[in-house]
Amino acid sequence: MIAALLACYPVLLVSALWPAPAVFGMVAALSYAVEYLAPSAGRPLPDLLAKVHLSTTLRFAFRETMALLLVARTAGPDSPWFVALAAGVLAIHGVRAAHTGLAMRLRQMLSRMPVTTRNLDVSALRIPKLPPWPLRSSASLPFLYLDALPVLGAVFGAVPATYGAGLAIMCGAAGALAMVPYVRRAVPLTDKERVLQVVGEQVETYRPEVILYFSGATQAAYQARMWLPVLERIDRRAVVVLRERGMASHLEDTTLPMLCIPSSADLMSFRVLSSAKLCFYVANVGRNVHMLRIPSLRSVFLNHGDSDKEASFNPFSRVYDEVWVAGPAGRDRYRRAKVGVRDENIHEVGRPQLEGISTEGPGLPYRTVLYAPTWEGWNDDLFHTSLITMGPRIVRALLDHEPPLRVIYKPHPLTGHRDKSATRAHRKIVAMIEAAELAKSKARHPSRPEAGASHIRHLIVNGTEPSLYDCFNECDLLISDISSVVADFLASEKPYAVTNVANLSEPAFHERYPSTEAGALIGPDLSGLAEFLDGEDTLARARVKLRSHLLGPEYPDAMTRFNAAIERVIAGS
C-alpha cells in the first residue's frame, strides 16, 4: 500500500507539468482512496511515512501543489482564477487550523476534569455531549479531505477548481463554528472546586461502604473486571475507584458507581470516601500507595487470581491489613514464602466468580481443547509462558490430532507486553488456526450441505468475549501454564495439563507448583501431550481433592464466605 501511495505522486507531477487532466484526475482519486484505506491497514503505514517526513498533511499539500501546477499550465499563472485558487487552498488550511485549535481546547478541558464518573448522577455539571467524530477529531483529518474539491476540480479547469476551494472553505468554516458551542459549554468544567463538590455530593448521598481500587495499563483491565459482578452481589454498597483516564471504557457494563481520580492529591483530599470502611486491591502497583495513605480504610488485597506464580505471594502484600485468598493453598504459599505476611492476616474466602462453571463438557460429538497460555511476566523469574517455546507446536499437534479436536485459543491479555517474540508466536498460532479453518471449508463438498453441520469450528479469543469462564464451559480439556487459570479451571473438575517450560523433574515440578498435582505435565518436547489427549483419565479423584485445597470447601458457597468476610471487617471498623 505504501508503494501504491508513493507511486501516485510522480504521476501527478508529470500529468500536471505536461497537462493531462484525465490522467491527473484518475491518479488523484486513487491516491485519496489509498490515503483513506491506509489507517485500516494498521498503524505501521501512516507511522512509517511520518518517520520519513511524509506526514499526512504534507501528502495532502503535495496533491494541492500539483493541482495548482495543473491550473497554472492550463489557465496560465497570470489568470485571476489561479490566484484565487492559490489563496483558497491556503484558506482551507486556515479553517482547519481554527478547528484543530477548538478541538484541542475541548479535549483539554474535558481531560483536565479532576474526577470523571459513571453510574452517578452528575447532571448538575451539565457536561456537554461530545460532537460527532468528524468534528471532535483533534487531528482534523476529515477537514483535509475537503481539498479534494479543488484538487479534482482542477481536472475540469481553473474556474471549477476555484469554486471547489470556495465550497471547501465554507464547509470547513461551518465545521469550525459548530465547535464553538461545545467549547463554551465545557468551560464550567474547568472549575475544579465545583466539579469536586458536585461529584462529592453524589458520592456522599450514595454512602459507599466498600471500595474496589484499580490502577494499571488498559491491557490489565481484566484484573478489575473479574471482580465487578461479585461486588454487584455483595450486601454492602460498593464503588469503583480508578486512576487512569479512559479506564472505565475498558471495563464491562456494571451497575456499580465508578470514579476516576487521576491526581493523587485530589484522591487523598476526596473526603466523601471516608464513609467506606474497606478497600479492595486487585494488583500490586505503585499507585496503590495513594489510597493506602487513607487511615480510615481497612486495606484488603484480593489479587486477580490465585496461582503458584511468585506474584501470588509477593512481599509487597504485607503492606495490606489483610490478604484474602481462595483456599488453604493460598495460605500455604505465604507460609512457605515467608515474605512477612502474618498468618492471622490471611483469610480464605473462596472464588465467587466460579459459581457459573459447569462440571459437564459442551456435549459435542468431538472433544474441545482450550489452550490458554499465560504471558511473559514482568521479569524472567515470572516467565512461565509456553507460548514462545512450545505454543505453535502444541496447537499444531491439536490441529493434526485424530480423531479431530476443536481448538479454543485464548491468549493472556498482556501477551507480548514485555517480549515481542510472544506476539510473533501468537500471530503464528492465529495463522495456523485460520489456515486450518480455510482448508476445512474448501474440503467440504458444495453438493453436501449437511457436512457443514458437523464441521468443527475452532475459536480464537482475542477480546473479552467469550470470557475465560465461558471458555471453561465450552471445553472438555485444558492446556495452560503456571497461572490462576489452572486453579480456576479446577472448579470444573475436568482434566487439565500444565506446560513444564523449565523442564523440571516431575517431583520437583509438583512440589514447586502444587496446583499441578492433579494434572498432566507437558514437557518442552511435548512429552506427555499424546498421553493427555488419548490416555485414560486417572486423576478425577485427585482433581476433586485438589479443588477443595485450592478453592476452599463447597459449603458454605464462596459468595456466602466472601460476604461474611466483608461483614467481619466492617463490623470491626
Per-residue pLDDT 10s for the chain (573 aa) are 677 778 888 999 999 999 999 999 999 999 999 888 876 665 566 667 777 777 888 889 999 999 999 999 999 989 999 999 999 999 999 999 999 999 999 989 988 899 999 999 999 998 888 888 888 877 778 888 999 999 999 999 999 999 999 999 999 999 999 999 999 999 999 999 999 999 999 999 999 999 999 999 888 899 999 999 999 999 999 999 999 998 998 888 899 999 999 999 999 888 888 889 999 999 999 999 999 988 889 999 999 888 887 777 888 899 999 999 999 999 999 999 898 999 999 999 999 999 989 999 999 999 999 999 998 887 766 578 999 999 999 999 999 999 999 999 999 998 988 889 999 999 999 999 999 988 877 766 555 544 444 578 999 998 888 999 999 999 999 999 999 999 999 999 999 999 999 899 999 999 999 999 999 999 999 999 999 999 999 999 999 999 999 999 999 999 999 999 999 999 986
Separation of CA 83 from chain center: 51
How is residue 67 written as a grid cell? 493541482
Q: What's the Cα-to-Cα distance from 370 to each of 457, 470, 485, rounded to whole Å?
A: 13, 11, 11
- Please state, in angstroms and rounded to a whole number, the distance separating the CA atoms of residues 330 and 551: 9
Helix (H, G, I), strand (E, B) or coil at 265: helix
- The closest of 283, 344, 350, 290 to 317, measured between CA atoms, is 283
Ranges assigned E (strand) in 64-200: 116-118
The class of domain 207-354 in CATH terms is alpha beta
Separation of CA 209 from chain center: 29
- Residue 385 near residue 373 (C-beta atoms within 8 A): yes
- Residue 311 near residue 285 (C-beta atoms within 8 A): no
Residue 221 amino acid letter: A
Domain positions in the chain? 1-113+127-188, 207-354, 368-441+455-551
pLDDT, position 178 = 94
Residue 241 amino acid letter: V
pLDDT, position 321 = 96
pTM beyond 0.85: the answer is: no
pLDDT, position 325 = 95
Helix (H, G, I), strand (E, B) or coil at 260: strand
How is residue 175 written as a grid cell? 465545521
Helix (H, G, I), strand (E, B) or coil at 347: strand
pLDDT, position 405 = 96
The strand order across the sheet containing 496-499 reads: 459-460, 406-409, 368-372, 477-480, 496-499, 520-522
Sequence-ordered list of residues with C-beta below 8 angstroms from that of 481, at least 6 positions apart, any chain? 373, 374, 384, 385, 386, 498, 499, 501
* Residues found in the chain: 573
| Residue 290 burial (CB count, 10 A) | 19
| Residue 25 burial (CB count, 10 A) | 18
- Please state, in angstroms and rounded to a whole number, the distance separating the CA atoms of residues 253 and 276: 23
Helix (H, G, I), strand (E, B) or coil at 523: coil
Domain 368-441+455-551 has CATH 3.40.50.920: no
Domains 207-354 and 368-441+455-551 share a fold: yes
Phi-psi region for residue 83, left (φ > 0), alpha (ψ -120 to 50) or beta? alpha
**Helix 80-111, helix 158-186: angle, nearest 10:** 20
Sequence-ordered list of residues with C-beta below 8 angstroms from that of 439, at least 6 positions apart, any chain? none
pLDDT, position 450 = 46
Q: Cell 510472544 identifies what position?
A: 422
- Residue 498 near residue 522 (C-beta atoms within 8 A): yes
> What percent of the chain is helix, strand and coil (3-state, nearest 5)?
55, 10, 35
How is residue 150 written as a grid cell? 479543488
What angle is formed at CA 26 by the lines to CA 22 and CA 32, rounded to 5 degrees? 145
CA R_g for the chain: 30
pLDDT, position 223 = 93
